[in-house]
Amino acid sequence: MKKFLTVLFVLSIQLTLAQEATTYYLIRHAEKDRSDPSNSNPDLTLEGRQRAQRWSAVFERIALDAVYSTNYLRTIQTASPTAEAHYIALQFYDPRALYSEEFKASTKGQNVLIVGHSNTIPELANAILGEQKFENIPDDINSYLYVITVIDNYANSILFTID
């Protein structure tokens, strides 16, 4: 984990030094409470709250400029520890309309964390990359971190698994 954090930190610094580099960090919400199948807006489980804290530790040394979340308890609870640690107000987004020209312009040159869902995060990654590279995240996986860097019109991605 320390080695990964070091690599991620160095990568973040290098990309920050690059002119007009934008880095998007995309994660799925942590483990949600599945005890009531009729609940469409469940909280995180204890394991999920612990994962949210671990995500905060992953992003501890990355100078985030913005943290976005869908307006669901599980994504808010996943994003909040990181946003609070960076003293950043959590911003809500509609995943169907996130990667617009306006959003690209407003995040240009920034480091941005976006918390979403098993289908919306890969869809967003693909939109940023301009290709169908990633499939939906399996329902039992909450540990993927997509790091996408955009410089001018060129986008590159790395997919990590953080347990």
Condensed to tens digits (0 to 9), the pLDDT of residues 69-114 reads 999 999 999 999 999 999 999 999 998 888 999 999 999 999 999 9
What does pTM read for this prediction?
Answer: 0.89
Of all helices (H) and strands (E), which one includes residue 114? strand 111-116
Q: Residue 79: which of 121, 28, 122, 12 has the closest Cα?
A: 28
Please list the pLDDT of the chain residue by residue as tens digits (163 residues).
666 656 565 566 555 555 689 999 999 999 999 999 999 999 999 999 999 999 999 999 999 999 999 999 999 999 999 999 999 999 999 988 889 999 999 999 999 999 999 999 999 999 999 999 999 999 999 999 999 999 998 999 999 999 8
Give me the helix-helix angle, 46-58 and 73-85, nearest 10°. 40
* Structural domain spans, the chain: 2-161
Give the right CATH number for 2-161 from 1.10.10.10, 3.40.50.1240, 1.10.490.10, 1.10.1370.40.
3.40.50.1240
